[in-house]
Amino acid sequence: MEKFNVLQSTAVPLPIENIDTDQIIPARFLKATSREGFGENLFRDWRYDSSGQPNTQFVLNDPRFQGQVLVAGKNFGCGSSREHAAWALFDAGFKVVISSYFADIFRGNALNNGLLPLQVEDSVLERLLKQIEEDPGTELIIDLPAEQLYVPAWEQRIPFEIESYKKECLLNGYDDIDYLVSQKEAIEAFEKNRVWVY
């Protein structure tokens, strides 16, 4: 997994609530058996019309908005558990998604792929979306070690929370599988002493 430390970037605003993983990557693109290449179909049905032409109204086709940070409406990533949604965002160059809350499975999937789900208050999200829409050049600095989102235009540091274990994983590029495999002895002991065995 790629390490994450401090990121400075402009951002792409997507002020829609309840964006589900079917929008992030539609089911018909889930037939690949590797993790690569999902980025080109990120938000496919919002990005392109039925004939495959770019939808100029959609923010990813608007050249004013660039960057490695997606700022989206609340309850981002609801619905299907498909990790392909996190792969597609990462593959398309996003390293951070900011929202006022994330669906549980998406949050876990993002963290397992070096994509930071950064949760802020509703009021901060609203202000941030307005700021970026008014000034697409707005820079954001996401400082993971300090657990702060810095908006230079506001001269304001906004703290965010992240589980200490997950923070260590992101900073070091570790994933859970390494840790779990190292726990074999404890797991075997648990299996021998269970209250009920299925």
Partner 1 sequence: MGKKTLFDKVWDAHVVRTLPGGQEVFYIDKHLIHEVTSPQAFEELENRGLSLYRRNQIVATADHNVPTKDQHLPIQEPLSRFQVDRLTENCEKHGVQLYGLGHPYQGIVHVIGPELGITQPGMTIVCGDSHTSTHGAFGAIAFGIGTSQVAQVMASQCLLLSRPKRMRITVEGDLRPGVTAKDLILYIIASLGTGGATGYFVEYAGSAIRSLSMEGRMTVCNMSIEMGARGGMIAPDETTFSYLEGRPFAPQGEEWEKAVAYWQTLYSDEGAQFEVEYHFKAASVTPMITYGTNPGMGISLNATVPQKVKASEQASFEKSLQYMGFAPGESLIGKPVDYVFIGSCTNSRIEDLRLVANYVQGKKKASHVEAIVVPGSKQVEEQAKAEGLDKILAEAGFELREPGCSACLAMNEDKIPAGAYCVSTSNRNFEGRQGPGSRTLLASPLVAAVSAVEGKITDITQYLS
Q: What does the binding site for partner 1 look like in residue numbers (CB under 8 A)? A: 15-18, 20, 22-23, 26-28, 30-35, 45, 50, 73-75, 78-84, 86, 101-105, 108-109, 112-113, 122, 126, 163-165, 175-177, 179-181, 183-184, 186-187, 190-191, 194-196, 198
| 8 Å CB contact between 189 and 163 | no
When the beta carbons of 18 and 61 are compared against partner 1, the nearer one is 18
Tell me if residue 123 falls in helix, strand or coil: helix
d(CA 189, CA 103): 34
Least spacing, CB of residue 150 vs partner 1, in Å:
25
Least spacing, CB of residue 135 vs partner 1, in Å:
20
Least spacing, CB of residue 152 vs partner 1, in Å:
26
When the beta carbons of 46 and 65 are compared against partner 1, the nearer one is 46
From residue 66, alpha-carbon distances to 57, 61, 90, 161, 180 in Å are 15, 10, 14, 26, 38
| 8 Å CB contact between 147 and 6 | no
List residues bridging with 111 in a β-sheet. none
When the beta carbons of 69 and 72 are compared against partner 1, the nearer one is 72
When the beta carbons of 109 and 138 are compared against partner 1, the nearer one is 109
Least spacing, CB of residue 154 vs partner 1, in Å:
21
When the beta carbons of 143 and 175 are compared against partner 1, the nearer one is 175
Least spacing, CB of residue 141 vs partner 1, in Å:
26
d(CA 18, CA 116): 18
d(CA 28, CA 38): 11
Both tokens of 45, joined, read 């049905």
Q: What angle separates helix 104-111 from helix 84-91, to the nearest 10 degrees?
A: 50
